[in-house]
Chains A and B, each alone.
Chain A
Amino acid sequence: MTAALLVATALMGLAGTAAGAIAPVRFRIALSSALTIAACALGFVVGAEVLHSGHAAVVHTTTLMPLASFSLALDRFGALFVVITAVVGICAMIFRFGYDGQGLASRTASSILPLFVTSLLLVPAASNVTTFLFLWELMAITSLLLVLTDHARRSEVQVAGQWYAVMTQLGAAALILGLVLLATRSGSQSFAVIAVRSAHLPAWVRSTAFVLAVVGFGSKAGAVPLHVWLPRAHPEAPGPVSALMSAAMVNLGVYGIVRVGMGLLSGGPAWWWLLVMGLGALSAMFGSLHSATSKDLKRLLAYSTTDNVGLMLLGVGASGLFADTGHRALALLALVAALLHVVFHAVFKGSLFLSASSVHQAAGSTDLDQLGGLLRRMPVSGPIFLVGGLAIAALPPFCGFVSEWLLLQSMLHGLPSGDVAIAVAMPIGVGVLALTGGLTAFTFTKAIGIGLLGLPRTQDAERAGEVGRPMWIGAGLLAVLCLVFGVAPFLVIPSVVDAAGAVPGLHLAGALTRGWNVALPGVPGMLAPGLVAIGLVGFGGLVALGRHLVQQRPVRLTEAWGCGRELQTARMEYTATSFGEPLTRVFEDVLSPARDVDVSHLAESRYYTEAAVIHTTIDDAFERRVYRPADRMLVRWGAVARRVPNGSVHRYLAFGLVALIVVLVVLA
């Protein structure tokens, strides 16, 4: 039955594509979004059923693709990701009903968006190499086209699209190499067969395949140093698309690493997992630093995705390391922590991106220095954004707190074990987690304080109003989930534990919840998020009650002391740049901000300044130091290579003759 539902999901998604392509403009958005919601709902049902029952949903057909079979087998691990995508997809599509973005109403975008969502839903179900690569490429290409929807109106979109296309194809090339290597060496395409035979492959094959998979999946997940497309593509993509990309697509990078590293290759030597942990730590620190000093809201959120992906990779690497040294309970714990962070990240990041899009629509810009005072003007979307920010800063009673606590616990409890690699890696992991936690809190204080609070900095911000109901419903549903999961994580954790235990190759089992609390198996440590929430609310109530009882004088309402100044304008407020300036100064070596002062003098005398303008730019260090030089080198080689075919017929014929001779020599 689940197999039939899986097929139905795919068909519904294709129906959405068709609707988007064919329907007249009045019904286009509504019809394609409704069909996509239906597809996501079906996907949710399949995923939930598989998670609950443990039986995989298998679909196998040889007629769809020449020379290969199209094969889907959704096990519990994949089902978790399908459920995540389904939930985010439903909320994003609800959001889309009210989204006024110009690009998304076109025929192209309306037909490609359902296709993108369908491919996101089906990738975790792929069970042989051809199907996986086909669906992966479908996902990559559809997301590229969606990023480019606005390209006719803004030129930055084209540049962003180019970066995204190149990085995605580089990653896909690495993936294809790695998976095909595994498949040819194992003699079969099917994941199940590869998983069995991979243990007998020579070590260099396994390691090469793993490294290629990390490169390929890491670039999709947005791990440093392959992350440069993220902060460029997300701000340019329309709202629902960037929410889907950040909350559903990057998860598949983590899915891939676990599936290949633990599922197909059944774990490996410690250096694999140290590599993953290293990439994770680097991503976490780099991402959090850049998001803390970024002044564009969507770019800030994109770097924050890199940060969170780093945390997920820290968990995955820790899990692999523990499994390799034999600490099974800890390995399960770390993997569950990483997967839980995947789930919760999808929820709060999806909400944040949708809220950012609402802000863009209401106030005309996502530049924090042009916002302000929005909490008052957007009485529903503002608090939703606030909830998302609190969740990502890992504050109780929201969900981020639970997953980061779990990550921390899994790494801390690894310390007593004797292994050298663990003893070195875990404290570094804990330190990185602490640093990024602090920086994230800083970042979202900035985002909320400067974007939502205070006085509006521009006319557009002043004129902002609440957005349409579908938009805040979409973002709000995810925000509500943030709160619900934060107080009652026991709703989600057993499924995540089942999913982690189902990673073939790692035979883990255990229970992580005891009633309403989160309890760690085999190690001392327990968290009662429900009690924490009750405690917070109770404490707040006690304080309010106390003040009320102690209050004797009548309350006088007056303006806040402002040193007696009469005028309070938005020009006197903090800007995002100034808020982040201390951090920029401390981390100047990493960020390398570029400062440009432009002074123009009066015509009459050089001693009088007419205007002085300062430009500060912080661009991505990897982009500047690695990618741009590589790009320049490729252009130089290309120029050299262009001179070789110079139009001479004889030269071309000579090429042919030489090629023929080489072939003959090789054959001889």
Chain B
Amino acid sequence: MSGSSYFSVLTLAAGTVLVCAVAILWLASIRAVISMVAVQGASLGLVAVVLGVHLHDAGLLAAAAVVVVVKAVVIPVLLGRASGSDSGSRESRPLVNVPASLVASAALIVLAFVTGRGVAHFVGTRAGALVPIGIATMLIGFFVLVARRRPTFQIVGLLMVDNGIALTAFLCTAGFPFLIELGVSFDVLLGVVVLMVLSQRLRLEFGDVDLDELQELHD
């Protein structure tokens, strides 16, 4: 693949990750959100594939395969199944309303680009210039964690944080070694499974409830 088209495809894939992140902030229906998560996972896999092909790194390609399988297929399926039984499948009253969330996400992206500049200089490669996108995804994922009430959305936020970190790692260092990526992905998978089980339990115990209403359990 020639240099410029490699970089364009890379930019496209990384940009798709970011766009999915913002879209998740905007969408209210959980089905739509899960689809966006799948797309984001696929884009991340695409980034890894492009980098792997460009650098002729088989490990990176293998990592890409893992990423695609876990993040674009397995997790969305699990989430879909869990929320299939979910009666109220819309995020009705987010903690921070949608327009405000979008403004906040814009601010976070700016912040990510400002801080990522230093890292980009340090890394030096052209791929390194896209590092701020990874940081932005991570920040937006964190924001979703903070600003959304329902447990399922918070799992999504966690996933986005992990995606952002993985994207940053891929761009900085031309990927993790395969083993580490494998380990991280399975960790995330496990985390998601556990969280889903917990939220099922919560739903059974307290009904479909906002996490904030569980305040009295604290000391």
Contacts and interface: CB of A to CB of B under 8 A. Distances in A.
Direct contact of A and B (CB under 8 A): yes
A339 B111 CA distance: 62
B215 A650 contact: no
Contacts of A667: 115, 118
Contacts of A645: 218
Nearest to B145: A653
B115 A657 contact: no
A630 interface: no
A657 B138 CA distance: 10
A649 interface: yes
B48 to A, nearest CB: 25
Contact of B111 (A647, A656, A661): A661
A665 B108 CA distance: 11
B142 A656 contact: yes
Interface residues of chain A: helix, strand, loop or mixed (majority): helix
Q: For the side of the interface on B, what is the size category?
A: 20 to 34
Contacts of A656: 142, 146
B216 A650 contact: no
B218 A647 contact: yes
Interface residues of chain B: helix, strand, loop or mixed (majority): helix
A649 B149 CA distance: 9
Interface string A612-641: 000000000000000000000000000000
B149 A650 contact: yes
Contacts of A654: 146
A668 interface: yes
Contact of A650 (B118, B146, B218): B146
Nearest to B138: A660
Nearest to A649: B211
Interface string B192-219: 0000000000000000000110111110
Contacts of A53: none
A654 B144 CA distance: 10
Q: For the side of the interface on A, what is the size category?
A: 10 to 19
Contacts of B118: 667-668
Nearest to B149: A650
A664 B138 CA distance: 12
Contacts of B115: 664-665, 667-668
Contacts of B108: 661
Contacts of A664: 111-112, 115, 135
A647 B95 contact: no
A621 to B, nearest CB: 39
Nearest to A660: B142
A568 interface: no
B146 A653 contact: yes
B114 interface: yes
Interface of A: 645-650, 653-654, 656-657, 660-661, 664-665, 667-668
7 contacts: A646-B218, A647-B216, A648-B211, A654-B146, A656-B142, A660-B142, A665-B115
Nearest first, the 5 A-B pairs at minimum CB distance are: A647-B218, A647-B215, A668-B115, A664-B115, A653-B146
